[in-house]
Amino acid sequence: MIGIFGGTFDPVHYGHLRAVIEVGEIFNLDEVRLIPNKTPPHRLEPSVTSKMRLEMLRLATEKLPNLVIDTRELDREGPSYMVDTLRSLRGDFAEQPLLLFIGVDAFNGLTSWHRWPELFDLAHIVVLTRPGYLIRLENEFFRGRQVLESAELARHQAGKLMFQRITELDISASAIRKIIAERRDPRFLLPDVVIDYIHSHHLYQNV
């Protein structure tokens, strides 16, 4: 099974990194593909360039096995719609179950994603706990797809929804950007190599 973890990574932090390590172990994944997005349809332009976000992601994951940085969204023209990304991944991994991991915050906004029901034709969606966010499962479409066991995901290539508890770290990129802009100390929220990169390139100096 292949894991997919998309994000803006502006910057990458331990909330992302613990999540990808833990899901790799829990679901016994062959690999997890980290996919930085280019023009996030749901948010303002990131405050640093895509190249810099990618560089920080590379630095943070250098020593982690089974993680692949996948630049297909950066290499593609136009906005980064997940449905297009999954279709392209399905071209590379025709037979394997694809597991798209998203935090609860992202799941609660899923029905605003471009052509969102098609996501389930292409992958399973696994929703990860995140402090401060409660799951809203109001939609019948979701209820009918929910499974409780990861073995269920292995039996199908796509189409299921699962909720997975992970170590809850109350870390967000926006809080880190604010800490840096206020000249406070961000250590232990993200890797030192990323902090060094941020300081040497004078990133996030203003909120």
* CA count, 13 A, side-chain hemisphere, 32: 25
Give CA 151 to chain center in angstroms: 22
Residues 6 or more apart in contact with residue 113 via CB below 8 angstroms: 41, 42, 81, 82, 83, 119
Residue 102 contacts ligand ATP per CB under 6 A: yes
Give the C-alpha separation, 44 to 142, whole Å.
28
Length in residues, the chain: 207
Task: Give min distance, CB of 94 to ligand ATP, in A.
Answer: 25
Residue 9 contacts ligand ATP per CB under 6 A: yes
Site string for ligand ATP, 56-95 (x = CB under 6 A): ----------------------------------------
Q: Does residue 4 contact residue 102 with C-beta atoms inside 8 Å?
A: no
The residue from 1, 35, 173, 198 that contacts ligand ATP (CB under 6 A) is 173
Residue 171 contacts ligand ATP per CB under 6 A: yes
Nearest of 137, 6, 154 to residue 80 by alpha carbon:
6
Residues 6 or more apart in contact with residue 23 via CB below 8 angstroms: 3, 5, 29, 32, 99, 101, 126, 128, 164, 166
Residue 53 contacts ligand ATP per CB under 6 A: no
Residue 103 contacts ligand ATP per CB under 6 A: yes
Residue 8 contacts ligand ATP per CB under 6 A: yes
Binding piece for ligand ATP, criterion CB under 6 A, among 12-20, 113-121, 157-165, 186-194: 12-20
Nearest of 86, 105, 60, 92 to residue 159 by alpha carbon:
86
Task: Give min distance, CB of 10 to ligand ATP, in A.
Answer: 6
Binding piece for ligand ATP, criterion CB under 6 A, among 5-13, 58-66, 71-79, 182-190: 5-13
Q: Does residue 125 contact residue 3 with C-beta atoms inside 8 Å?
A: no
The residue from 4, 17, 19, 195 that contacts ligand ATP (CB under 6 A) is 19
User: Which residue's CB atom is positioned nearest to ligand ATP?
Assistant: 103
Binding site for ligand ATP (CB under 6 A): 7-10, 15-16, 19, 102-103, 105-106, 128, 130, 169, 171-174
